[in-house]
Structure 1
Amino acid sequence: MRNDDWSRTIRYEIIPTPSVEERVVESVPLSVPVTITASPTKGLGPTLALAERLAGHGYRVVPHVSARLVVDDVHLKEIVERLVRAGVDDVFVPAGDADPPAGRYHCALQLLAELTALGRPFRHVGITGYPQSHPSIDDDIAVQAMWDKRTHATYIVSNLCFDAAVLTAWVRRVRRRGVDLPIHVGLAGPVARTKLLSMAGKIGVAESARFLGRHLSWFARIATTYSPDTLLAKASDLSTPDLSVAGLHVYTFNQLAEAERWRTGR
């Protein structure tokens, strides 16, 4: 992997499957933060429980608190208290894919504003950025939403992108719009197609169908031409200090041993 300062800071994203805790403990050093996704069908329970267990192992965990999975302000306060009690100081707040929403929060901004009203209980709060078009949100709306959310957040994580030119142009566009939050560039780790398909099968039939249906191009790219090193080499302009790229957010698809071998160059 590259040795640019911005690419030395890495965090791994995982999906809360039954075996992933063991994989994390076996393969991931405590120095690497671990972010935990939330399932639109299983709710926040598995995410919060895994966050508590991994925090107990000594990891810095970043649970996804998907707005559309939170029922109301009482539920949110319960979530906050539970995470603070576990020592969590960083959360990632997407809107989430639950349709219909579990309760009163339909978008990330609503929940972010609520967290601010609660006195900003987390030191770090992440929001999503979309270098490539969101499947259901126009680009201009996505960029405007990022501007609206900036006062409630401390960093941005970019969604998966396999085009270095598109990714770099998006970062520059964000900066031109006056959004100066640090950006963690999202990229897929080194994942074999067969293992990716196996992982998709473990997250449930309905979710697997949704995942595969929305991201067929991801599978095609990962299975054929994609390499994280190639993408990073082509995106070397991101190391420019004025772009404030803080590090890499690696979508591991739970292939943690492979991600760690890539990170360390073994």
Structure 2
Amino acid sequence: MSAAGFRALLHSVRYEVLPAKATEDKVLAHVPRDVVVTVTASPVKGLEPTLDLTTRLAAHGYRVVSHVPARLLRDDTHLKEVVERLREAGVDDVFVPAGDAEPPAGVYDGALPVLRGLSELGGPFAHVGVTGYPESHPLIHDDVTIQAMWDKREYATYIVSNLCFDPRVLGEWVVRIRRRDVRLPVHVGVAGPVQRAKLLSMAAKIGVGESARFLTKHASWFVRFAAPGGYSPERLLSRGAEALSAPSAGVAGLHLFTFNQIAETERWRRAVLERLEG
């Protein structure tokens, strides 16, 4: 990837954070106001911590994206209440995944009915994101996940790719969705400069049941972090440079999974920018 292309990605970055007790202070201390912050939601804790943190960060002047997992919504009334609360906070961007809650909290078992519900409410958000899966979903065939993006295209405005550590897989996925005529801009999901020990610690703090699911679903991540030389987001992006920087790829920016290592992620971004800018 050219220096100019890499700089552009680092300037159009989004930081995904977990709604933990210390998250607000970490964001205020380390994240510039021009960096978009996205707030995840936990099947264990429900939507309330997400909505609360989103509201507080928006009041501090951040552009905040709230995750609204379909399987955490009870019904149409609950969806309308969530929309009203986010709009009152000045939020104009939401990310709507299916979510992992099992069983679902209510009537929605996937993102598409929620996207349709938002449309019926008049399209209250200027920006609506949906999930893309560069690596195979454990329960859903690849062709089905791409078909799902096609089905959502008239309701969504962008795609966030799920975490991927293989630049070849990531590049091939972008090519494949474009061949299927999915034209939504893609924010490439990349892990920040995460230390393995801290990632394990974070997983343990999510909660007993949640942590078990996290570790089961993402066991391969820890192998990546423990590999010789560790993990480097810069190395991953440089190896995927050709595919990700092609005009046809439609890559709009980076979505960095911070795992709440917020200070470390911003230090890394600043250091790379300073090096690229000479």
Q: TM-score when scaled to structure 2?
A: 0.93
Task: Please state if 1:255 is matched with 2:261.
Answer: yes
Q: Determine if contact 1:32/1:60 at 8 Å carries over to the other structure.
A: yes
Aligned counterpart, 1:243:
249
Task: Please state if 1:89 is matched with 2:92.
Answer: yes
Alpha-carbon distance, 1:193 to partner:
1.1
Alpha-carbon distance, 1:3 to partner:
4.0
Alpha-carbon distance, 1:196 to partner:
1.0
Q: Determine if contact 1:131/1:161 at 8 Å carries over to the other structure.
A: yes
Q: Partner of 2:35: helix, strand, or coil?
A: coil
Alpha-carbon distance, 1:140 to partner:
1.0
Alpha-carbon distance, 1:21 to partner:
0.9
Counterpart of 2:234, as a letter, is: D
**Aligned mates of 1:220, 1:17 — CA distance in 2:** 26
Give the alignment partner of residue 111 of structure 2, picking from 97, 108, 112: 108
Q: Determine if contact 2:46/2:72 at 8 Å carries over to the other structure.
A: yes
Counterpart of 2:235, as a letter, is: T
Alpha-carbon distance, 1:169 to partner:
0.6
Give the alignment partner of residue 121 of structure 1, picking from 120, 124, 134: 124
Task: Please state if 1:231 is matched with 2:236.
Answer: yes
**Aligned mates of 1:104, 1:89 — CA distance in 2:** 25
Give percent identity, aligned residues only: 63
**Aligned mates of 2:155, 2:96 — CA distance in 1:** 10
Counterpart of 1:43, as a letter, is: G
Alpha-carbon distance, 1:40 to partner:
0.7
Deviates more, 1:14-23 or 1:75-84: 14-23
5+ residue gaps, structure 1, are: none
Q: How many residues align?
A: 266
Q: Partner of 2:124: helix, strand, or coil?
A: coil
Q: TM-score when scaled to structure 1?
A: 0.97
RMSD across aligned positions (CA): 1.2
Alpha-carbon distance, 1:69 to partner:
0.4
Give the alignment partner of residue 70 of structure 1, picking from 54, 73, 82: 73
Alpha-carbon distance, 1:227 to partner:
1.1
Alpha-carbon distance, 1:135 to partner:
1.1
Task: Please state if 1:211 is matched with 2:214.
Answer: yes
Task: Please state if 1:193 is matched with 2:201.
Answer: no
**Aligned mates of 1:223, 1:82 — CA distance in 2:** 42
5+ residue gaps, structure 2, are: none
